[in-house]
Amino acid sequence: MRNSVPTSSIGKLLYSTNTTQQQQQQQVSLDVDVMLTGELNPNQYPARRAAQVVLHHLNTRYGSPYWWGALRQVHKATAEALGDSGRKYSLEVTLQDQISGTKETCTAEVVFPGGPAGGPPQVTTSYEGKSEINTQAQEEALYNQYNTSQNLLSGHNLPDSYGHVAPGMEPFWHLGGVASSFVMLKESSENTLYNMAQVVSVTQLATENNQLRFNYDVLLHEMVSQEIIHWKLLASWSPQEGVKASQMELLPKCHHCEPPQEH
């Protein structure tokens, strides 16, 4: 199982030489400044940035401890200027569930609002949900286990410095990734590309309104600036209601926080 950006790739980006980082950032800046319209190269930054927004949107709608999407391929992409209303990207992408490995292809439109007010991107997609897998039994079992447990769950460093996640903590790593998509969708613009790097900590709270609740501290990797950004989330989940992130707080920059590297 892998995050939407493999841990090894994060490590290479973060710990490469300053020269390499500058070259990467200059290329990204060039891609952003050009702001092409019409047909785009699906392998280049503008298309993949918009496709990553589609991924975050679908994670917020369909994600669970047993479904966590990743972007696998951008097949087609076009961009259209909408004047003061912003820019629209039309895409065909393949997404993969990181847990089951199943893949699905869909079309989507992403509008990045223009003007000084801005706002989060608006997404519409043909994706109709998890058609090939049924995780209901797993979700019900997990919910019942932690809804009735006398000991509230807690965990740290998912994955750890060796890239490992204990099997019993994997659903809560997935849940943290899905909850992080709420932040990443809200914060995304034409100048950003977000992935979750690590769950720093997760702490279960008392169940409320039949929802399991968790405090998450997560590290997000913004790949354009190469920043690691620290957020605190209050996430809730039940099989019936899905995942929600009701509170999101940007924390002060963590100078010692580093995502894990694979060994």
Instruction: Provide the pLDDT for residue 131.
Output: 63
Does position 14 have pLDDT exceeding 60, yes or no? no
The answer to whether 79 touches 38, Cβ cutoff 8 Å, is yes
pLDDT tens, residue by residue, 107-158? 999 999 988 878 999 999 999 876 667 899 999 999 999 999 999 999 999 9
Average confidence score pLDDT of the chain: 87
pLDDT tens, residue by residue, 76-118? 999 999 998 999 999 999 999 999 999 999 999 999 998 887 8
**In a domain? residue 256:** no
Q: How many CB atoms lie within 10 A of CB 86?
A: 19
| Host domain of residue 21 | 7-250
Number of domains in the chain: 1
The answer to whether 220 touches 183, Cβ cutoff 8 Å, is yes
H or E element that contains 195: strand 194-208
Question: What is d(CA 5, CA 261) in angstroms, rounded to the nearest whole number?
Answer: 12
**In a domain? residue 116:** yes
Average pLDDT, stretch 154-166?
96
**In a domain? residue 195:** yes
Instruction: Provide the pLDDT for residue 2.
Output: 39
**In a domain? residue 15:** yes
Closest among 157, 215, 230 to 7, alpha carbons compared: 157
Pick the more confident residue, 24 or 49: 49
pTM value? 0.83
Instruction: Provide the pLDDT for residue 33.
Output: 40
pLDDT tens, residue by residue, 172-181? 999 999 999 9
**In a domain? residue 260:** no
Question: What is d(CA 236, CA 216) in angstroms, rounded to the nearest whole number?
Answer: 10
**In a domain? residue 255:** no
Query: What CATH number should be reported for the domain holding residue 123?
Result: 3.10.450.10
**In a domain? residue 261:** no
Question: What is d(CA 194, CA 226) in angstroms, rounded to the nearest whole number?
Answer: 10
Q: How many CB atoms lie within 10 A of CB 210?
A: 11
**In a domain? residue 258:** no
Return the sign of the alpha-carbon dihedral for residues 135, 181, 248, 253. Answer: positive
